[in-house]
Amino acid sequence: MNEYDRFNEGKDAAREIKDAVKEGADQVVSTARTTAANVAETATDKFNEVRDEAQDKLGDLYVRTVDYVRDQPIPALGFAALGGAVLALLLRRGGG
């Protein structure tokens, strides 16, 4: 075997290594993309679940508040006036 043959063997081996590295890199990129997509989907699902729960609780709170105001108008008016007075006091102190 002469130097030319050894050079060609080395070149072929280098090409095989390069192809293997490229294939491995492509697999890593593909796996990363799939993982990122799965994480994004899971996060979106969890966000939607929490949002739906919050909307349900807010709806329940709204119904309970309306029922309370309807059933207890005088105390509800007192709470509203007290809340307004506290808010005005806080705003006055914050601006002064």
Q: What is the pTM of this model?
A: 0.52
HSE-up (13 A, CA, CB side) for residue 34: 6
Q: What is the rounded distance in angstroms from the CA atom of residue 36 to the CA atom of residue 44?
A: 12
Q: Apex CA 8: angle with CA 6 and CA 14, to 5°?
A: 105
- The range of the structural domain enclosing residue 32 comes to 3-95
Q: What is the rounded distance in angstroms from the CA atom of residue 84 to the CA atom of residue 69?
A: 16
Q: pLDDT of 43-76, one tens digit each?
A: 999 999 999 999 999 999 999 999 999 999 999 9
Q: What is the rounded distance in angstroms from the CA atom of residue 35 to the CA atom of residue 58?
A: 34
Q: pLDDT of 9-20, one tens digit each?
A: 888 899 999 989
The amino acid occupying position 29 is V
The dihedral sign for the CA sequence 24, 25, 26, 32 = positive
Domain count, the chain: 1
